[in-house]
Structure 1
Amino acid sequence: MSDVTRDSENYYLGDSPSRPVPFDGVMTVSHYIMPNFATMDWHQVAREQVVENIKSLQDPGGNLNDRIMMYIHVPYCKSFCHYCNFNRFHYPKQDSERLEKYTDYLIKEIDWYMRQPYVQAREFTGIYIGGGSPSTLPVSAVERLSEHLRKVVPNFDSIEKSFTGEPRTLRRPGLLEVLKDHGWDRVTFGIETLNEKIHRKIGRLDTRDDVDAVFNRMRDIGYTADTCVDMMYDLPGQTLEGFQAELTELLDCYDPTEIDLFTTIYLPYRPLHKMIMDGRVEQPGSPWQLLAMREHLYDRLSGAGYHNTIAETWSKRPERSVYQTAHCARQDIIGVGCAARGNLRDMVSINPEKVDDWQRNVDEQGASTETLQSIGYEGVLDRVMVMFPRYKSLDKELLADFAAEVDEDTFARVRAVLDGHLASGVIDDEGDRFTVNKLGVIWHGNLQTDYLRHTLNTKGEVLMNHLTESRQDFDNEDRFAVTTETVYIKEHDAEYPRLMK
């Protein structure tokens, strides 16, 4: 595949950009720290109120959305990647019996939700099984779960169904056949990097043979589901030229239906951050290189016929997936499984992080959630606006609906951020909606942060400051110098493991 000729302005391939830089720093993390909303101090909510909120799902009304989907979380992994910030448990410590039991409890929690009048009154649009690595479940468990979902979920055969995994376990005999037979139409898995040296440094133990085996097996059995792969950039030791070569190789060798491209997030004192601080792994390049990578992937994939459906996602299909739409606060989400999250009405739910606690809650109350909490219209507006730069589109009619429900000061704050983004050229006014343009996609983390910042509690502020690359440091190759925030987080490490899970 030949190189793509740029059909748009060159913004950031060096330290002398062709137009003013719209922000004073690069934010590499954004909506992932939403648990630090000041309005979401979960453990301050009385248990009695959570129970009452659970019971409220017996009322079919009060909805903000007509549609609903289900997210099912499987936390188990065969091994840990050094960059991972999400809730997961080490697979070798779990035998097949425990994984089958985990599946039993998934089914119990699914059944509880499917009996609730609130859920039954909504249009069911999709199922997403994520993790962790759901492909670590026994093939028999995946088959049993799929068969049960087909029985209890309305229109199972016609809704979108996504199953995630990792190449080593996705290639196991029989698994792809089970997914094909039960109509899972999106298979998503991480490749992260095609550079074998970097691949090992970030703790990935799968091989190119594993990736090849997944694609080859799907082709051999006539499994035509969308293939959705994750890739990362701004990795340790990764150069712009190396990243460009990886993208070309990915398209030439695999031609996936969809590609999620994520900036590497160096959360303080997680394994990859520690390895760099200790000098065991080299640093990523400068912030200028990070911005250049973002612009390159935008131009390269646009030229290859991919659509930028949400900020980090490129698809051969022009429409967003159901999961992307729901995750960007445009549908309700039922969260099932250990550490799963969901949104119902104006309530946000987080399930227990430990499997034993999750199972106990399922036994005692049906739904495992320990934090079902109303955030009100103001909180829902915050969520919609924080996710707008990812979703890339905001209907003015939706914005007007919120303006009628929240107080003037709240809406004025949102409008001020929106107007600032219009003035800096990162979003466009298209009459009936606002949209995020190419420049805004390159800086989407900053756009999200502008909407997020006022909601942060103290821990969120400290983390935000730690993860900001200041404008004066865009040339700096030493991005891991110890800051005041880094020291503070280390001294208060007990407070921070919950972040990013």
Structure 2
Amino acid sequence: MPAEPYYLGDNPSKPVPFDGVITASHYVVPLFATMDWDQVPREKVVENIAGLQDPGGNLNDEIMMYIHVPYCKSFCHYCNFNRFHYPKQDSERLEKYTDYLIKEIDWYMRQPYVQARKFTGIYIGGGSPSTLPTSAIERLSSHLAKVIPNYDSIEKSFTGEPRTLRRPGLLEVLRDQGWDRITFGVETLNPEIHRKIGRLDTREDVDAIFDRMRDLNYKADTCVDMMYDLPGQSLFGFQDELTELVDSYDPTEIDLFTTIYLPYRPLHKMILDGRVAQPGSPWQLLAMREHLYDFLSEKGYHNTIAETWSKRNERSQYQTAHCARQDIIGIGCAARGNVKDMVSINPEKVDDWQKNVDEHGASTETLQSIGYEGVLDRIMVMFPRYKHLDKSLLGDFGEKVDSEVFERVLNVIDGHLENGTVEDEGDHFRVTKLGVIWHGNLQTDYLRHALNTEGEVLIEHLTEAKEDFDREDRFGINEQTTFIKENDDLYPKLMK
């Protein structure tokens, strides 16, 4: 018998914790785009870069590095990451990109602030880093081994897409260079949906990766991405795919992401044109989340963060940094980082990124302080994903931020304690299973105060009310798009 549902409102002992389902997971970028963000002039960026020379003022003792490679052989219809077409047969351009990665890495590794931190990991993501020539990947890895403290013992993650990750010689290089986490997207095992979301890799490509790693006796963790709430995907179809993934591949880790239907990406346009089916209702999405929680727990996986399941009972270093629990250096075109109380965003275009590296060492164009209140906001918004919040950490911020700001945070926590999505564990707060299922609502509660007026309007629209619980019709993408078109002044940049 399946587990008794947590999210349904027909069981008085397990009531619906919120008045509506926040569907903003479908539109996360428009939502975050309505946050006020002050751009700073170049002179201020240079001043902030100079401030990194001071090793003091740290908020975290640990730091890791994220390296972004924006190239892809083809574009998936749902993707919102920074990426560019693969420069076919232009190994010189890819080698040059690698040269500049090394230049920016070296600049950061010379900074006293970085040298004073404990280095915990490296993550190469994209795009598809496996599109780099094998020689470039070997050269970059060898350089990292020379300049990163304790390279042999820290966590090292490399991301690829199956078609290029299986190239002859690449997995051998990654094994020999000590990469201990290999991540790649499977997204769906349904061949029809797979094709309609723009994935051109094949099941044979995925098989080849697992087979080759076994042949090489390559013991790295295998971390696969899967998506759910895909167009035309049913609850039963998702359940079958998840079973097949575990039974066929038994990956070390599975990152499970809700599909995002951004109003300016091809997948959304294809739905409007009727070429792709609409997703199911947000209530089906919650049912999918609950199933994956129960099913993967039974299979021995641990829910390390809200969207990740691992055979290891600890979070990866990248997850820890991404959830604002340690600093992260952003290297490469469009890479983002958090250093001290500053946020760093690199240029989105390769030429601009390379120009900044030549002129300034670090390419960042938006390095600016968000202050202790901003850091607290970042921690609290990511708390529902990270699932754990030390009271001592919270207390530290209570001494540093405005009392009204801190009181607001405590009020949100109290509300989540009351509705059962968070539990008080004595020395820390913990997000419950119910909170994981509804983590979008929890994040929005912490985010809401940071939204401008337009963001508040958008949030209210992207909520499926509890009184609509029993309706059978799907929450229409067409309805969402009508609202977007009628209110396109809310986010004009995204509608270009």
Q: TM-score, normalised by structure 2?
A: 0.95
> Could you tell me how far 1:489 is from its partner in structure 2?
5.7
**1:290-309 superposed matches below 5 A:** 290-309=285-304
* Maintained 8 Å contact 1:351/1:371: yes
Give how far 1:461 is off. Answer: 4.2
Which residue pairs with 1:118 in the alignment? 113
Do the aligned residues in 2 keep the contact of 1:70 with 1:128 (CA within 8 Å)? Answer: yes
Secondary structure of 2:182's partner?
Answer: strand
| Separation in 1, partners of 2:327, 2:397 | 17
Aligned partner of 1:171 in structure 2 is 166
Candidates 323, 326, 338, aligned match of 1:328 = 323
1:479 match? 476
Quick one: structure 1 residues 371 and 497, their matched pair in 2 at CA, closer, same or farther if it must change by over 3 Å? farther
Distance 1:90 1:458 in 2: 37
CA apart distance, 1:453: 1.2
Matched ranges for 1:65-464 at <5 A: 65-92=60-87, 95-457=90-452, 460-461=455-456, 464=459
Distance 1:462 1:341 in 2: 28
The counterpart of 1:25, out of the listed 5, 20, 24, is 20
Cα distance in 1, alignment partners of residues 23 and 225 from structure 2: 17
Higher deviation after alignment, 471-480 or 152-161:
471-480
How has the CA–CA distance of structure 1 residues 266 and 491 changed in structure 2, closer, same or farther, with 3 Å as cutoff? same
How large is the RMSD of aligned CA atoms in angstroms? 1.9
Q: CA deviation at 1:459?
A: 5.7
Give the AA of the match of 1:311: A
Contact 1:268 1:489 survives alignment (8 Å): no
Match for 1:23: what amino acid?
F
- CA distance in 1: counterparts of 2:46 and 2:215, whole angstroms: 50
Given residue 127 of structure 1, which amino acid in structure 2 is its aligned partner?
A: I
Q: Deviations over 1:244-303 (max 9, x none)?
A: 100110011000000011111111131111111111111111222111111000000000
Q: Secondary structure at the match of 2:211?
A: helix
Return the alpha-carbon distance in structure 2 between the equivalents of residues 455 and 491 of structure 1: 19
Cα distance per residue 1:134-156 (max 9 Å; x no partner) = 11111111001000000000000
d(CA) in 1 for partners of 2:77, 2:416: 35
Distance in 2 (alpha carbons) for counterparts of 1:232 and 1:75: 21
Q: CA deviation at 1:206?
A: 0.6
C-alpha distance in structure 2 between counterparts of 1:336 and 1:211, whole Å:
28
Q: Which AA in structure 1 matches 2:244?
A: E
Q: Which runs of 5+ in 1 are unaligned?
A: none
Q: Which amino acid aligns with 1:480?
A: I
1:29 Cα offset (Å): 4.2
Deviations 1:164-215 (A, max 9, x none): 0110010001110000000000000000000001001111111100000000
Where do 5+ consecutive residues of structure 2 fail to align?
none
Alpha-carbon offset, residue 15 of structure 1:
6.9
Contact kept, 8 Å, 1:39 with 1:379, in 2: the verdict is: no
SS across alignment from 1:496: helix
Deviation at 1:470, TM superposition (A): 3.4
Question: Quick one: structure 1 residues 178 and 464, their matched pair in 2 at CA, closer, same or farther if it must change by over 3 Å?
Answer: farther
User: How far apart, in 2, do the equivalents of 1:155 and 1:465 lie?
Assistant: 48
Look up the match of 1:469. Answer: 464
CA separation in 2, counterparts of 1:350 and 1:161?
Answer: 22
How has the CA–CA distance of structure 1 residues 458 and 327 changed in structure 2, closer, same or farther, with 3 Å as cutoff?
Answer: same
Structure 1 residue 86 displacement after superposition: 1.2
Looking at structure 2, the residues matched to 181 and 458 of structure 1 have their Cα atoms a distance apart, in angstroms, of 53
Q: 1:276 to 1:263 in 2, by over 3 A?
A: same
CA distance in 2, matches of 1:70, 1:115: 14
> Residue by residue, what CA displacement relative to the aligned partner does 1:316-354 show, whole Å, maximum 9, x if unpaired?
000110111111111000000000000000000000000
Helix, strand or coil at the partner of 1:219:
helix
Identity among equivalent pairs (%): 76
Partner of 1:47: 42
| CA displacement, residues 102-121 of structure 1 (integer Å, 9 cap, x when unaligned) | 00000000000000011001
Question: Which shows bigger deviation, 192-201 or 268-277?
Answer: 268-277
The CA deviation at 1:28 is: 4.2
What whole-Å deviation, never above 9, does each CA across 1:410-457 have from its counterpart, x for those lacking one?
011111111111111100001100000000000011101110111123
- How high is the TM-score relative to the length of structure 1? 0.94
Give the paired residue count: 490
Q: In structure 2, what is the Cα distance between the partners aligned to 1:364 and 1:109?
A: 11
**Following the alignment from structure 1 to structure 2, what is the Cα–Cα distance between the partners of residues 391 and 253?**
29
Q: Tell me which moved more, 32-41 or 374-383.
A: 32-41
Read off the aligned partner of 2:389 and give its amino acid letter.
L
Provide the secondary structure at the position in 1 that maps to 2:52.
Answer: helix
Aligned partners of 2:29 and 2:262 also within 8 Å: no
CA distance in 1, matches of 2:457, 2:401: 28
Structure 2 distance, partners of 1:256, 1:266, is 27
Q: Distance in 1 between matches of 2:30 and 2:308?
A: 20
Distance 1:489 1:227 in 2: 43
Letter of the structure 2 residue corresponding to residue 191 of structure 1? V
Q: Distance in 2 between matches of 1:320 and 1:310?
A: 7
- Out of 478-487 and 456-465, give the one that drifted further: 456-465
1:90 shift after superposition:
1.1
Letter aligned with residue 365 of structure 2: E
Q: Distance in 2 between matches of 1:54 and 1:116?
A: 10
Distance 1:116 1:194, change over 3 A: same
